[in-house]
Amino acid sequence: MMHTLLQVRRTIPMKTPARLPLVGFLLLVSCFACLVGCGITKSKQDADKVLTRHFQAVSTNDPGAALNDYGSQFFQGTSKEEWSKVLGRLNAKMGPYQSHTITGWRSFTKAGSFGSGTTVTLQCQVIYARHSAKETFTLFKGLTDSGYKIIAHQIDGAALLTE
């Protein structure tokens, strides 16, 4: 006597909360990308306003106003008096500020229990009366801060290396 084994396969439909058609999914992703992109662009624009105010203070030889654009994180490594002297020497060496152009930028937002906020890095070509320099600014705005503050400032210029 021969026994036949009968296998039965049963497909059980999975219950999902909602199945989005491909078009709906793509629409959702593109809307999200637009919203995120708008926020990133706004952060760059807001940081650029701080930079413009900073250079306005530099152009009128007002180091006190320029120092107001720097955050407390910046002054953990350099005192206000020391940085004011650096800005004065920069002005004496390079000449009065003329203009700047943003040549590159990036922005990112960090969420966590410490240091949550948005960081923007702006790379600039800065023209002074006697020389030009590439300057990189990193600005930060915490979740509860009213505006961006400069937390890092790097100045690269060949004229700074000569007497």
pLDDT of amino acid 22? 53
Q: Where are the domains of the chain?
A: 37-161
What would the mean pLDDT of 123-149 be, rounded to a whole number?
95
Q: What is the pLDDT of residues 27-49, one digit of tens each?
A: 444 434 433 444 568 899 999 99
- Average model confidence (pLDDT) for the chain? 81
pLDDT above 70 for 154: yes
Pick the CATH number of 37-161 from 3.10.450.50, 3.40.190.10, 3.40.50.300, 3.40.50.1820: 3.10.450.50
Residue written as token pair 């943003």: 102
143, containing H or E segment: none
pLDDT of amino acid 64? 86
Other CB atoms closer than 10 Å to residue 119's CB: what's the count?
19
Q: Is the pTM of this model over 0.75?
A: no
pLDDT of amino acid 2? 56
Q: What is the pLDDT of residues 83-97, one digit of tens each?
A: 999 898 888 899 999
Q: What is the pLDDT of residues 102-112, one digit of tens each?
A: 999 999 998 87
36 or 151: which leads in pLDDT: 151
For residues 19 and 15, give the distance between their C-alpha atoms in angstroms, rounded to a whole number: 9
